[in-house]
Structure 1
Amino acid sequence: MFERCLQVKEFMASYEGKWMIAGGWAIDLHIGEETRDHEDIEVAVFRDEQNSLASLLADWDIYIANEGKKEKWHLDAPLELPIHEIHASHQDGKQLEVLLNERNKGRWKFRRDPELSFPLSMMNLQSEQGVPYLNPEIVLLYKAANTKEKDHDDFNYVFPHLNEHQKEWLKQALIQHAPNHPWLEALLY
């Protein structure tokens, strides 16, 4: 179980910065079981540590998503907002999606609304297998934009596994960022 996450953990062992599994895999790590098939695996890192990321991926083919197009990332060019998505592939067939996250003064900042933040010291948890993953409430906030069926499934699977603090933070974040989101119905009651 969680073989892909464990492979990423092994690969990221030499990464000098902070990293954590994001997206649907983070939801599954929080629940403790694989609830669905995953097309890809996403790793969250901090934008200000992208030099360490460039060193780690030096022998990979790396592209950035920029306004809906993929462009080659020349590792010496720093990536600034709004660019936040990196797609890396290796000649051995491995693929990795890296998501750049913002931080300031000891807090994670939501790139779509910097007023929404979370203490860095509490923004990730660790699975039984020792894999760091992004807190599910932060993952769900990201999924609240352009929500797909799999995102609704993720919400429904993880909702019973969220504590009251996690539910409250997500509720307040959605009220501020996506006040008409359907997940608020479950969070308000």
Structure 2
Amino acid sequence: MSSAADPAAPWDPLPPEAVATLFSGVGARWWIAGGHAVAFAVGHRFREHADTDVLLLRRDQHTVREALPDWEWWAADPPGTLRPWHAGETLPEAVHDLWCRPGPAAPWRLQFMLDDAVGERWTYRRDARITLPLSRLGRRTGEGLPYLTPEVQLLYKAKGTRPKDERDLTAVLPVLDTDQRRWLARALARAHGARHPWLPRLGRESP
């Protein structure tokens, strides 16, 4: 394996259902994240997805890696630069992003995000004051596929508010209940300040 990989190499993302098959025997929690998670919350796919994101707890990194021992794993360290994640290495806290593929000539198939938890409480890595019980961090589709709850996914998307993030917010707002809206509004105000452009929409567009 070379010492660096090209983040611009092509993607052929695994469908979420294929991820569930790969990790069916993994003894750790994981959740489909990103745009796919929003689509699951909405109940249907409403835009294309360039990759497949999976959220992991940092403490479970080795357990999940062992499910794909023959794949290449790469750490974004720092962001924008990929370097090999060697078997047995515990990643430093500054690494939050992992890419993997079946081999050096293969396209990228999965992207993983590492998040922290204290006991049974998830902690937002950009602001440790924002937490949520792990029991509320995810939901399941009708087929049992775990996905990240939409208010947490929106919190991550709120930093940049790219066009696709705005589209995701518009699509998922109608399915957020009062508790989800309140939690997201408090988290946005704490992490980004009271002038974040999404805050008025959370209060105005009731479910």
Task: Give ranges in structure 1 of 5+ residues lacking alignment.
Answer: none
Distance 2:108 2:82 in 1: 18
1:184 matched to 2:184? The reply is no
Distance 1:181 1:58 in 2: 42
- Is the Cα contact below 8 Å between 2:101 and 2:109 reproduced in 1? yes
Q: Normalising by structure 2, what TM-score?
A: 0.86
Name the larger-Rg structure: 2
Match of 2:84?
Answer: 72
SS in 1 for 2:98: strand
The one-character-per-residue Cα deviations of 1:74-112 (angstroms, maximum 9, x if unpaired) are 121101222110000114656111111110021000000
Match of 1:57?
Answer: 68
Task: Give ranges in structure 2 of 5+ residues lacking alignment.
Answer: 1-13
The AA in structure 1 aligned to 2:126 is R
- Is the Cα contact below 8 Å between 2:173 and 2:202 reproduced in 1? no
Match of 2:97?
Answer: 85
Match of 1:150?
Answer: 164
Aligned length: 187
The AA in structure 1 aligned to 2:46 is T
Distance 2:109 2:77 in 1: 19
CA-based RMSD of the aligned residues comes to: 1.4
Q: Normalising by structure 1, what TM-score?
A: 0.94
Aligned residue among 1, 7, 32 for 2:18: 7
Aligned residue among 3, 22, 30 for 2:33: 22
- Residue identity over aligned pairs, in percent, reads 33
SS in 2 for 1:83: coil
